[in-house]
Amino acid sequence: IEEVNLPTPTDVEDDYMENEQRKNEFSLIKRLLNQLSPRQREALTLYYIEEKKYEDICEIMNMNYQSVRNLMHRGLSKLRTLAS
């Protein structure tokens, strides 16, 4: 006889709570990113989401290395301030 593991109400509730938590976190991140300048948002997205290197971001955004670093720093600082 094959044993079947049916989800318990607790499993279903835990899954629901985790899903809601993910939705809330995604919503918060989206709200915070929308408060950045378009250039800051683009740079951070390229670096953290698309995993581009600084040199690639410089090319894509047509900016020099130090300007990209400054843009990233200001964007991250603003995110930290908004999130606290």
Percentage of the chain beyond pLDDT 90 is 58
Residue 1 has pLDDT above 80, yes or no: no
Q: What is the DSSP letter of 36?
A: S
Query: Does pTM top 0.85 for this prediction?
Result: no
Q: What is the DSSP string of the chain?
A: -----PPPHHHHHHHHHHHHHHHHHHHHHHHHHTTS-HHHHHHHIIIIIS---HHHHHHHHT--HHHHHHHHHHHHHHHHHHH-
Q: What is the pLDDT of residues 64-81, one digit of tens each?
A: 999 999 999 999 999 999
Q: What is the pLDDT of residues 8-25, one digit of tens each?
A: 778 888 888 998 999 988
